[in-house]
Amino acid sequence: MTEQPRNVPNNLEAFWMPFSANRQFKQAPRMFVGAKDMHYVTSDGRQVLDGTAGLWCVNAGHCRPKITEAIRQQAGELDYAPAFQMGHPKAFELASRLATIAPEGLDHVFFTNSGSESVETALKIALAYQRVRGEGSRFRLIGRERGYHGVNFGGISVGGIVGNRKMFGTLLTGVDHMRHTHDPARNGYSKGATEHGVELAEDLVRIATLHDPSTIAAVIVEPVAGSTGVLPPPKGYLKRLREICDQHGILLIFDEVITGYGRMGTAFAADYFGVTPDIMVTAKGLTNGVIPMGAVYVRDEIYDAFMNGPEHLIEFAHGYTYSGNPIAAAAGLATLETYKEEGLFERARALEPVWAEAIHSLKGEPHVIDIRTIGLIGAIELEPMKGEPTKRAFTAFVRAFEAGLLIRTTGDIIALSPPLIVSEDQISEIVETLRKILRSLD
């Protein structure tokens, strides 16, 4: 039996929706009014299986009691504390806990409110660090084609998604981009890191030679590019980037906004690939997506380099009103406890082969031209419709929603990243629903 509609607003005009087809949505709204564990509830009372952990963030599943209760309690105890020149215990406790799960040496944490802010923070730390250590000539930031680093000016400058950049003028100056690593001709239907393409890391040498390494502050990459359609790195590629950075005094920044907090079956992608960056950018799964919060981890030498000069002076002129907000910190602590108590990172690790097998079983279905899986992430790339790119995947997205499954699409690629509590039966449900939809598409 379906429930009666509830909580449906009668005017959708005022809200300018982010990264959405506003007009299409407002003609046929898709509204969620509730959620529990692996499911959303729609405004017409249907259950929708969450194949994307919201937006790659609800790693422990929805409305988890410990997290909900921690937020409730904190809101009644200390709702807000000034973030500058004042503190509250939970922000310190959370930073210390995060340092214990971070790769060795990344023991200091700067809090933000989102992935985009974490990216800006990381880029600013990198530039400022080079300056405080006497390398002020290092002003360049290097990103990569097809990279996504949020939507603020620094992030879109080092990012490599044309559609996100072209409207916004000159962006940051002094930015260059390495080539992306996507090579379906050689690496089609991949599981885990891809076999071919380690040599693409040498593109950093080319850029460093062109500009001279002494002008480069940092390189930023997603260990697995997510938003441009799930592009796992070639085997050995990240390790080689690390070597080149070390050789030339360049900082290596990993943007782990989607790969962090268990998505790869390890705490971070840095652990999965065995490569430690100098700065690590995170958000999303940090609070299970429930309260906005980001965290930027830095190596001890970076933090220490700032702790100089007269002690009453502010060492780094950067921060947000909500950096380390008490309710976010409480949510973060409860999220980490939930991950630990339920062994969710290990669970994701154990599921990786099951997940890969299931998603790859869609090979050969209509329109499918490539499939990529890594950790609990999957991508199914569809052949675009002639003259109407993105339409086929968008149709799949709408049909999936109607069939009770939330997926995400980017271009003509279906991206999947379920909460880490997903069961094997639910993995089958995701795959079989998609199979039907693929067979129904024009």
Ligand X SMILES: Cc1ncc(COP(=O)(O)O)c(C=O)c1O
* Contacts to ligand X by CB under 6 A: 114-116, 119, 148-150, 222, 226-227, 255, 257-258, 283
Taking the C-alpha atoms of residue 262 and residue 259, their distance in angstroms, rounded to an integer, is 7
60, 339 in Cβ contact below 8 A? yes
Nearest to 60 by CA among 358, 408, 331, 405: 331
Sign of the dihedral defined by the CA atoms of residues 402, 361, 426, 35, in that order: negative
Q: In what order do the strands lie in the sheet with 140-144?
A: 108-112, 294-298, 279-282, 251-255, 216-221, 140-144, 175-178
Sign of the dihedral defined by the CA atoms of residues 108, 112, 114, 115, in that order: negative
Taking the C-alpha atoms of residue 214 and residue 396, their distance in angstroms, rounded to an integer, is 48
Residue with tokens 């999947």: 416
Q: How far is the CB of 168 from ligand X (least distance, A)?
A: 16
440: tokens are 């129904």
Q: How far is the CB of 433 from ligand X (least distance, A)?
A: 24
Residue 351 backbone dihedrals phi, psi, to 5 degrees = -80, -15
Of residues 258 and 296, the one with the C-beta less far from ligand X: 258
Of residues 178 and 305, the one with the C-beta less far from ligand X: 178
3-state SS assignment for residue 408: strand
Sign of the dihedral defined by the CA atoms of residues 143, 149, 153, 166, in that order: positive
Nearest to 257 by CA among 83, 407, 417, 430: 417
Of residues 56 and 213, the one with the C-beta less far from ligand X: 56
Q: How far is the CB of 421 from ligand X (least distance, A)?
A: 21
181: tokens are 């690593």
Q: How far is the CB of 141 from ligand X (least distance, A)?
A: 15
Of residues 267 and 305, the one with the C-beta less far from ligand X: 267
Of residues 101 and 283, the one with the C-beta less far from ligand X: 283
Residue nearest to ligand X (CB): 115
Q: How far is the CB of 67 from ligand X (least distance, A)?
A: 18
Of residues 283 and 413, the one with the C-beta less far from ligand X: 283
Q: How far is the CB of 114 from ligand X (least distance, A)?
A: 4
Q: How far is the CB of 140 from ligand X (least distance, A)?
A: 20
Of residues 283 and 407, the one with the C-beta less far from ligand X: 283
269, 262 in Cβ contact below 8 A? no
Of residues 155 and 234, the one with the C-beta less far from ligand X: 155
Of residues 88 and 182, the one with the C-beta less far from ligand X: 182
Give the chain's largest Cα–Cα span: 68
Q: How far is the CB of 47 from ligand X (least distance, A)?
A: 25
Q: How far is the CB of 131 from ligand X (least distance, A)?
A: 25
Residue with tokens 């300056």: 131
Sign of the dihedral defined by the CA atoms of residues 390, 395, 396, 398, in that order: positive
240: tokens are 């080689």
